[in-house]
Structure 1
Amino acid sequence: MIIPLSLIGLLAIACLALLASPYPFLAPGAVIGLAGLLALYRRPAWGLLAIITLVPLEGLFKDSQLTATKLIGAALALVLVLQLAIKQLPAERLRSTMWRLLLGFLALYLLSFLASDSSEMSLGHVRELAVGLLLFGITLLIGRELDLPMLYRLVTLSVGLTCIMAMVSAKYQDEGRAAGLLEDPNVFAMFIAIAVPMALWLVFNSPGRVQKLLWIACCILLLAGMTKTNSRSGLVVLLISLGIVLVHYRTQVAHLRPRHLGFAMLGLAILLPTLVALMPESYVARIQSLALLKSGVNAFKDDSLGRRSSYIVVGSKMIREHPLLGSGPGTFPLHYATTGYAKAFSANRKVGDLYRRAHNTYLEIFSEVGVPAGILFASMVLLALYNVWHARRLWLQQGDHYQADLLTHLCMSMLAISLFLMFLSAPNHKYLWIMLALSSVLRVNAEQARLKQVKA
């Protein structure tokens, strides 16, 4: 308790200093901060759950330099450093098979930064990556105490709340498309695709009828939010997730009695036409535009597909010109703005329309940081998927279907992130780095449980 007592002493001095300063009204904030630090000291996993919950809601604090997520993250980092210093947390928790790939990626990233075409743009990219790396380390340290069912509940409710806000208020829409609090319909669609598998697990595993009805309502809300985003990539990822659900629960479906199957078919016969009828006409038109891909992309028929094709052309050229270290982190917009595509696909010639990101994380990494770094980054994502799936298989071998089902749905959420990286520029997304670390933790937990069972 030496460290907590020293914290109390320091904050007490801070309170007295604030009371004697021209800003005495800030003194109660120090007391609240002390209570928060002590709570995080006793239950650091609560801080990580709070960060995960607040990520979809970060748009509420977009005009503030100091957000709740930053405060909690900084406080949690301080607490964990103190716990490591007094050896309350074993440093062995930082061990992970992910480090080999990550350290190689960071070394190449640093070299690319030093050789960047624009150090200013690259520096902003480095700051964002530092946040992701901090969350990666935090998750490795306290991921073992993370309550996955609670995580599923909080993510479902958080994303569901943003769905309500996006569908009710035009403030959270982008030209009629639900954009959530982060003002990007595709990012909002990714949050929904991450939350749907978690909501489905809650539906299948909630003990009471009232709880099941609550999570069913959340699922319907999430699906309605997805249709409002008009996101084609979101629909594709969501259908893949639902397909995996059907495959995973095929044994349970096989045990259904004929009368239950009849009710299920009746429900589908009612639900599917209803969804089609309620689906916005603009969304139906965007889905039908995917048929253009059969005969090649025609920019005159679909500007969005034309822009995405231009990103691939520009990114491919950058890879050919700078295959080893790329052009520098965050410099894709700089190269794109000098091409004719930027002017052709810019409606109003604003700077934001000319300087566009690749809208494909993998393409962005390969073109900005180089082919070797791109391979390492993609390998980290694949390793994370393998870690979760391997942990699921180990739990199945031990006969623990509860844990296996938990990881099946988490793997679907991780798959949703990995697929969305092909449609979004999000190499520094908080959920991505949390999932990368969490996958390693879950694999270690499953392996240790398997080892104990063998010894027993």
Structure 2
Amino acid sequence: MIFPLSIVSLLGLVCLALLASPYPYLAPGAVLGLVGVTLFYRKPTWGLLGIAALVPFEGFFKDSSLSGTKFLGASLAVILMLQLAIHQIPSERLRSNLWRYLVWFMVLYFLSLLNTDDLGMSLGHLRELSVGLVLFVITLLIGRELNLDLFAKFVTLSVTMTCMLAMFSSKYQDQGRAAGLLEDPNAFAMLIAFAVPLGLLLVVRSPKMLHRLFWGACCILLLGGMTKTESRSGLVVLFLSLVIGAWHYRTELARIRPRHLGFAMLGIVLVIPLAIAVMPAGYVARIQSLSILSAGAKSQDESLGRRASYIVVGSQMIRENPLLGSGPGTFPLHYATTGYAKAFSANRKVGDLYRRAHNTYLEIFSELGIPAGLLFVGMLALGLYNLIRARRLWMQRNNREESDMMTHLAMSFLSLTLFLMFLSAPNQKYVWIMLALTSVLRLKAEERPFPEAKA
């Protein structure tokens, strides 16, 4: 693959211009940029792996207009457009069964944008969503060459590193709750729930015991980080995904002999009290607060009360504008005018009054309307079905390695879709990368021929 001479010449001129400018110290950065762009041109999947690895570290760039993920995403977008133009990448790569939902979703999105209650807020929402859409297209184009084992390793290591920072440094905590490099502990718990199934896959598939111990230690750190976030939703989502994983490996449980049950029960007796003992007291109190919920009962938990108020305001918005909603990103505008905003605001600051719905589905239904909300939910459901379909096809071919990979990716993707009920994150990068990846993996599984039956 030959790198275009015009691009090399352009970057060379940029280096010379920087050397002659008042900022000559930026010239080495241009050279490094040339090396990086050359690498991504030859191996664009490394750029996608870099984006996946940098997502947990985006907090480092929160005060900067150019983050690592933005640079990688922009570079990949330019490179892939060039490769499409010169037919180095076939346009058939863009084929996906998700377009039928996404295209109509975006049509309704722009209609809602034209009818918005606040154009500035809606344009800001569109700018955030466009990042996810770009990643969706990038993943469709290069997802076939993506090394899924490396993807699992990069994600597991990066999230584990932020867990270590959050567990052992109060700088990366929010009022005692681990937030990593993010502002919201629940958003951090979402990353952990996404990474745990991938870490468990590495434990299962690693050929050497030392490697298994390393990835097992990473999983323990991830679980420790989850408890430190004190996220109730994270605990529920993680439990559901692990149950699905246990169902996939149910045939392996048949190998357990009666003599092994005693050791298993002993392990349970030791692990459960130990987990309760090391679990933060605040986390235990937050979990116990769920038991007070009953029909007609008033919650004493402020967080649960806030979430109930979001549902009330969102339901009212849906009733008022069921077709096109109030406009993308306008939920905080409507919430700030209610009495709930003042009641749940500790210091009456603007950031406390203008709150998002903390529920992506509720936010989309209320801001974009019921049709767009159904399309969004249908798109995520189809993505999950793509992984289930790919898993079934690999199992029919007796390819256990690929079916295990599909199972763990489905667990991670399911964690993301469930977490969207507790977070406002329609532009979450992992969501759009995984959404495109589900389509790519299903197509690869369908295109692989079945082995011929032996005579």
TM-score band, normalised by shorter chain = over 0.9
Q: Deviations over 1:347-372 (max 9, x none)?
A: 11111111111111000000000000
Asked whether the 8 Å contact 2:3–2:38 carries over to 1, the reply is: no
Unaligned runs of 5+ in 2: none
- Match runs of 1:298-317 below 5 Å: 298-299=298-299, 301-317=300-316
Q: How far, CA to CA, are the matches of 2:198 and 2:2 in structure 1?
A: 40
Asked whether the 8 Å contact 1:45–1:146 carries over to 2, the reply is: yes
Q: How far, CA to CA, are the matches of 1:109 and 1:7 in structure 2?
A: 36
Residue in 2 that maps onto 1:287: 287
- Match runs of 1:56-75 below 5 Å: 56-75=56-75
- Match runs of 1:255-404 below 5 Å: 255-299=255-299, 301-404=300-403
Q: Does 1:225 align with 2:220?
A: no
Q: How far, CA to CA, are the matches of 1:26 and 1:452 in structure 2?
A: 55
Q: How far, CA to CA, are the matches of 1:16 and 1:219 in structure 2?
A: 48
**Corresponding residue SS for 1:266:** helix
What code does the residue aligned with 1:156 have? T
Asked whether the 8 Å contact 2:94–2:137 carries over to 1, the reply is: yes
Q: Deviations over 1:276-305 (max 9, x none)?
A: 111111111111111122344524x11111
- Which shows bigger deviation, 401-410 or 238-247? 238-247
Residue in 2 that maps onto 1:166: 166
Q: Deviations over 1:93-125 (max 9, x none)?
A: 001110110000000000000110000110100
Q: Deviations over 1:242-270 (max 9, x none)?
A: 11122111110111233334333322221
What code does the residue aligned with 1:329 have? P
- Which shows bigger deviation, 374-383 or 25-34? 25-34
Q: How far, CA to CA, are the matches of 1:41 and 1:452 in structure 2?
A: 34
- Match runs of 1:434-453 below 5 Å: 434-449=433-448, 451=449, 453=451
What code does the residue aligned with 2:417 have? S
Asked whether the 8 Å contact 1:3–1:82 carries over to 2, the reply is: no
What code does the residue aligned with 1:377 have? F
**Corresponding residue SS for 1:335:** helix
TM score, norm. by length of structure 2: 0.97
Residue in 1 that maps onto 2:116: 116
What code does the residue aligned with 1:385 have? L
Give, in angstroms, the shift of residue 2 of structure 1. Answer: 6.0
Q: How far, CA to CA, are the matches of 2:178 and 2:213 in structure 1?
A: 25
Q: How far, CA to CA, are the matches of 1:295 and 1:11 in structure 2?
A: 65
Asked whether the 8 Å contact 2:165–2:180 carries over to 1, the reply is: yes
What code does the residue aligned with 2:301 have? D
**Corresponding residue SS for 2:108:** helix
Unaligned runs of 5+ in 1: none
Give, in angstroms, the shift of residue 21 of structure 1. Answer: 2.0
Q: How far, CA to CA, are the matches of 2:291 and 2:193 in structure 1?
A: 23
- Match runs of 1:130-141 below 5 Å: 130-141=130-141
Residue in 2 that maps onto 1:181: 181
Q: How far, CA to CA, are the matches of 2:60 and 2:153 in structure 1?
A: 21
Return closer, same or farther for 1:309/1:138 CA change in 2, 3 Å cut-off.
same
Give, in angstroms, the shift of residue 455 of structure 1. Answer: 11
Q: How far, CA to CA, are the matches of 1:368 and 1:395 in structure 2?
A: 40
- Which shows bigger deviation, 53-62 or 6-15? 6-15
Q: Deviations over 1:350-395 (max 9, x none)?
A: 1111111111100000000000000000000100000011000000
- Match runs of 1:189-268 below 5 Å: 189-268=189-268
Residue in 1 that maps onto 2:416: 417
Asked whether the 8 Å contact 2:143–2:440 carries over to 1, the reply is: yes
Give, in angstroms, the shift of residue 22 of structure 1. Answer: 2.1
RMSD (Å) for aligned C-alpha atoms: 1.4
Q: How far, CA to CA, are the matches of 1:266 and 1:145 in structure 2?
A: 45
Q: How far, CA to CA, are the matches of 1:261 and 1:245 in structure 2?
A: 20
- Which shows bigger deviation, 415-424 or 238-247? 238-247
Return closer, same or farther for 1:415/1:296 CA change in 2, 3 Å cut-off.
farther
**Corresponding residue SS for 1:294:** coil
Give, in angstroms, the shift of residue 168 of structure 1. Answer: 1.3
Give, in angstroms, the shift of residue 232 of structure 1. Answer: 0.5
Q: How far, CA to CA, are the matches of 1:326 and 1:197 in structure 2?
A: 36
Asked whether the 8 Å contact 2:116–2:326 carries over to 1, the reply is: yes
Question: How high is the sequence identity, in percent, across the aligned residues?
Answer: 66
Give, in angstroms, the shift of residue 126 of structure 1. Answer: 0.3
Residue in 2 that maps onto 1:20: 20
Asked whether the 8 Å contact 1:60–1:181 carries over to 2, the reply is: yes
Asked whether the 8 Å contact 1:96–1:440 carries over to 2, the reply is: yes
Q: Does 1:150 align with 2:150?
A: yes
Give, in angstroms, the shift of residue 11 of structure 1. Answer: 1.3
Q: How far, CA to CA, are the matches of 2:452 and 2:444 in structure 1?
A: 14
Give, in angstroms, the shift of residue 51 of structure 1. Answer: 0.1
Q: How far, CA to CA, are the matches of 1:262 and 1:180 in structure 2?
A: 39
Give, in angstroms, the shift of residue 452 of structure 1. Answer: 5.8
Q: Deviations over 1:386-445 (max 9, x none)?
A: 001100000000110100000100000000001001110011111111111000000000
Give, in angstroms, the shift of residue 171 of structure 1. Answer: 1.4
**Corresponding residue SS for 1:182:** coil
TM score, norm. by length of structure 1: 0.97
Asked whether the 8 Å contact 1:297–1:305 carries over to 2, the reply is: no
Asked whether the 8 Å contact 2:227–2:283 carries over to 1, the reply is: yes
- Which shows bigger deviation, 114-123 or 244-253? 244-253
Q: Deviations over 1:7-56 (max 9, x none)?
A: 11111122222222222222211211111011001100000000001001
Return closer, same or farther for 1:175/1:374 CA change in 2, 3 Å cut-off.
same
Q: How far, CA to CA, are the matches of 2:292 and 2:380 in structure 1?
A: 30
Residue in 2 that maps onto 1:86: 86
**Corresponding residue SS for 2:207:** coil
- Which shows bigger deviation, 7-16 or 330-339? 7-16
Return closer, same or farther for 1:138/1:288 CA change in 2, 3 Å cut-off.
same
